[in-house]
Structure 1
Amino acid sequence: MLPADAPSGFRRVALIVACALFMQNLDATVLATVLPTMAREFHVSPAQISLALTGYLLALAVFIPASGPLADRFGARRTFQAAIALFVAGSIFCGMATGLTSLVVARVVQGVGGALMVPVGRLVLLRTVRKHELVAAIAWLTMPAMLGPILGPPVGGAIVTWLDWRWIFWINLPMGLFGIAMVGRYIAEHAVAEAAPFDLAGFILCGFTLAPLIFGLQLAGRSVHPMIGAGLIGAGLLSGFAYVRHARRADAPVLDLSLLRISTFRRSLIGGSLTRITQGAMPFLMPMLLQLTFGLSAAASGTVTFASALGAFTMKSVAPKILRRVGFRTTLMVVGVASPLFYAMTGLIRHAWPMPAIFVLLLCCGFLVSLQFTAFNAIAYADIEPEQMSRATSFYATFQQLSLSVGICAAATSLGISMRLGGRAVPTFADFGAAIWTVTGLSLLAIFNNRGFAFGDGAEMSRPAFPATERRAG
């Protein structure tokens, strides 16, 4: 981040980076809406089609650790443009998919582009903002990007109802080309003069940790090959242990574990990861719940599920004011309980519920979780030094995407187990309720982590109305 007296022009950069986030978020939410349609065309179950989401998130989790070192070595602008181009190429291949296998492969290509696109864009923004402007900068970054989830469900529903689902991927082409042009024109290069050598051994170990963990979680909840899933999880944990030993000896590890000594970064990482388990699961669960139990079309379900994104977009304008008035710790303590409880209420949805009531409930869920993410994403960088920024962004983004993957895997696993226990081939309200309560229960655990924040944490960014108490050491 810039010194307090340095000129700051982060708004234009924030909007350009937001365009990339818009494209990625639109793609993700459109896909979630049309998953049931794609499952029918490819003749696979709803749980199996979740591989289209998991494969993408897997690529994100595996390749995000390389984003910071690559941006340092080749320059942020060049890396950002290459990432957008790769994301667009993957989108084209997704639209040409002829089955689940080819779709998942194309989604992995998309994921590699996304793995570099978002963290590097965030890194560029962090390098152009003063510390006390960080909360506002994240709001500038996130508000346009939230248009993706807002437009995604109705756009996805309209495309699958009146056109062909393949257009949900092909619409990324004009947006991507526009983004590449804007990056080249307005974003300055941020190459590091003496970039550290790339930690290839650490990158490989991270891949052998994250990939088995994600696919193992996916397989463990299925009726076939549960032991293979358990074996993959075990292999991932062993590789993770090997990476920890490697990182302690490496001069510049791809994931710098020393960042965990910083209290605000560590607690934001843990709390944000637990919270995102629910956020990863709900875009997978809600469209299926509305389509398979209420019999809604993809277009109709999209007009309901976009409520959570609308609530999130609304919160962005008031989040800085709330954080300035009550501070980060109080906000995270209160919302850390309210957000998962509101999401848990969606597990009580039944046929008797009117659609306006479901819409309002999802609106409140999005409103609360948006405030929670704004606070976590800002306070994570409160005590990060400039030379640590690139590795901090890649570290944080890695666990963001891993937790989203865990959310999808946990939802698919609990949904499949509930269906098998009930002897049902098609999920019912009870099955969706079991899945929702599983993921919200995991997210509720974040409250124990949030208690560790000091009242003065983040005071320089939010400028709260009360005097900051003494900061707690990492």
Structure 2
Amino acid sequence: MTYRYKVALIFLIGFFIDCINIFMSAVALPSIAHDMQVSTSSVAWVANAYILGLTLIIPVSTWLAGRFGSREILTASMLLFSGAVWMCGMAGSFHELVIWRFVQGIGGGLLIPVGQALTFNLFQGPQRAKISTLVMAVALIAPAISPTIGGVIVDSSSWRWVFHSNIPFSLIAAALSWLWIKEARPASLARPDIKGLLLVSTALGSLLMGMSLYGGDYPPLAALSCLMLGVICVVLYVLHYRRCDNAIVELSLLKSKKLSTSIFIYYAIPGVFTGVNLLSIFFLQNSLHFSAKLTGMFMILYASGAFIAMLVCGRVYNRFGARRLFTLGMLLHSAGIATLYLVDSAADLPIIVIAYCLMGIGGGIGANTAQTTSLMDFQGADTHKGSVIWNINRQMSFSIGAALFLMIYNLLLASLASTPAYHLTFVIAAVMGLLPLLQMSNLTTQKECHAQHNR
């Protein structure tokens, strides 16, 4: 195995662990709530704490890799992750579980952007599409299989083993990182942007906290205060960025149409799908009385459609270009979401199958194209900086998607019955998933891109 594929394998293992921890733990939430006697809104912090820790550490991960070395950081991240998941499984109280989930997220957040930057720097040009296809295959296979596996673990043993089952993967990633990574440390390293780090961390933490509080049983003023604090910190960071020579998040990279469009697409497809799928789970189980196992199996349909789409997308990306693939992906994905509007009873199972297949195919095309396109304009250190922005976006899109559509559904419940509220939320989601179409004219076509390089 060549060096670049060794690095890619380490990143893919870490990425797989990250994905299954978002989706597998969700299956265990009812058991955790029952065992630890907490409410549904409170138990959501098992997921929120992980995403919060993951998101807050991403901005500083690149500096840490430069300061201590990529090999050392990747190894330490997986060892920290291993210890944290063990403690999650051993937690004696809910607050202890939430704290260790936060630590677990820190471990995962160190590996993802560093591993992605190392990998993408080794795969340039047309090869970027191939490695992006592997990345997105992991991003879809993990959510497809992890709910079913998690359900089997919970039913046959305990929710604690949902966390313990991660340990072999994280220890393997730690060992391979130490043995295989050979990246040299930079000769000189700029002083870290501590003020920027504090502003970015406070902004992300406040925004996630505000959205989580709004979706739970908390006073609206508390949620609004957190959201306002997050917005204020964003404004303060922009002002700070203009005066700082080595800002922790390099906003100038957003001038890249490829990166900014890919970010928009990620909110419109994976972000929207996260919220739609969460609502769909409640709709199918609570309104149509489907079993949890059957509900989880629809993700297999989604992943199958997405996997096939990604294989095709990886082959045709350089011929058709990002603009056409983005457009096709959005249209198919939103068509699948809109199809859920037609579901009224358990007899509509074939319609649900069609909906998830369409969402899977469209999601596979859109997400894979975004992953391929996002960092295409960057090389070297800029790839690391772009990876930080991209991975913050990836995590935030999941959180915002879930919070946004739960909020919309709850607002609609004030004037509609449960099923019509679900239906109208799906329609709104389908429309919102098409918003990036307005930006497609700004994206350089593949042929134009080749012409610019040839001049």
Per the alignment, residue 317 of structure 1 pairs with: 311
Contact 1:156 1:299 in 2 (8 A): no
Greater RCO (Cα-Cα under 8 Å, separation 6 or more): 1
Structure with greater helix share of residues = 2
In structure 2, the CA distance between the partners of 1:113 and 1:253, relative to structure 1 (3 Å rule), is same
* Residues 1:221 and 1:20: Cα distance change in structure 2 (over 3 Å): closer
Secondary structure class of the residue paired with 1:192: coil
Alignment pair present for 1:216 and 2:244: no
The answer to whether residue 62 in structure 2 is matched with residue 68 in structure 1 is yes
2:269 aligns with one of 275, 287, 291: 275
Q: Cα–Cα, structure 1 residues 337 and 85, in superposed 2: closer, same or farther, change >3 Å? A: same
Q: Distance in 2 between matches of 1:408 and 1:145?
A: 17
CA contact (8 A) 1:68 1:120 kept: yes
Q: CA deviation at 1:233?
A: 0.9
| CA-CA distance at 1:315 after TM superposition | 2.4
Amino acid at match of 2:442: G
Give 1:225's aligned residue: 219
CA–CA distance in structure 2, aligned partners of residues 255 and 28 of structure 1: 25
Which residue number in structure 1 is paired with residue 419 of structure 2? Answer: 429
CA contact (8 A) 1:62 1:210 kept: yes
Partner of 1:291: 285
The one-letter amino acid paired with 2:214 is: A
Give the aligned partner of residue 124 of structure 2: 130
* CA-to-aligned-CA distance 1:98-133 (integer Å, 9 cap, x gap): 454333222211211121111111011012112221
1:27 to 21, 24, 38: 21
Q: How does 1:59-458 map to 2 (within 5 A)?
A: 59-144=53-138, 146-222=140-216, 224-421=218-415, 428-456=418-446
Where 1:253 maps in the other structure, the secondary structure is coil
Which whole-Å CA distance do the structure 2 matches of 1:66 and 1:441 have between them? Answer: 36
> Which range moved further: 439-448 or 400-409?
439-448
Offset at residue 331 of structure 1 (A): 1.1
CA distance in 2, matches of 1:384, 1:180: 28
Gaps of 5+ in 1: 1-6, 460-467
Q: Deviations over 1:225-280 (max 9, x none)?
A: 11211121111111110000111111111101111222222222233234332133
Distance 1:458 1:111 in 2: 41
Deviation per CA, 1:384-418, whole angstroms, max 9, x where unpaired?
A: 13231111111111122112111121133223334
Query: How many Å separate the matches in 1 of 2:269 and 2:242?
Result: 28
RMSD of aligned residue pairs (Cα, Å): 2.5
Secondary structure of the 1:385 match is coil
CA 1:265 to 1:458, structure 2 compared with 1: closer, same or farther past 3 Å?
farther
Q: 1:219 to 1:283 in 2, by over 3 A?
A: same
**SS at structure 2 position matched to 1:335:** helix
Identity %: 24
| Post-superposition offset of 1:94 | 2.2
Is 1:54 aligned to 2:48, yes or no?
A: yes
What is the letter of the counterpart of residue 208 of structure 1? T
Distance change (3 Å), C-alpha of 1:369 and 1:343: same
Give 1:345 shift.
Answer: 2.4
Task: Give the Å deviation of 1:440.
Answer: 3.9
| C-alpha displacement of 1:222 | 4.5
Change (3 A) 1:135 1:180: same
Distance in 2 of aligned mates of 1:289 and 1:69 = 44
In the TM superposition, what whole-angstrom CA distance separates every residue of 1:282-316 from its partner, at most 9, and x where no partner exists?
Answer: 45333333332333343332223332223222223
Q: Which moved more, 1:273-282 or 1:133-142?
A: 273-282
Counterpart of 2:75 in structure 1: which amino acid?
A: Q
Q: CA deviation at 1:281?
A: 1.9
Q: Deviations over 1:79-113 (max 9, x none)?
A: 11111122222222222334543332222112111
User: For the residues of structure 1 that align with 2:43 and 2:340, how far apart are their CA atoms?
Assistant: 22
Tell me the TM-score normalised to structure 2 length: 0.91
Secondary structure of 2:377's counterpart equals: coil
Contact residue 277 and residue 439 of structure 1 kept, 8 A: no
Per-residue deviation at 1:357? Answer: 4.0
More displaced stretch, 96-105 vs 409-418: 96-105
Is the Cα–Cα contact under 8 Å of residues 50 and 412 in structure 1 kept in the other structure? Answer: no
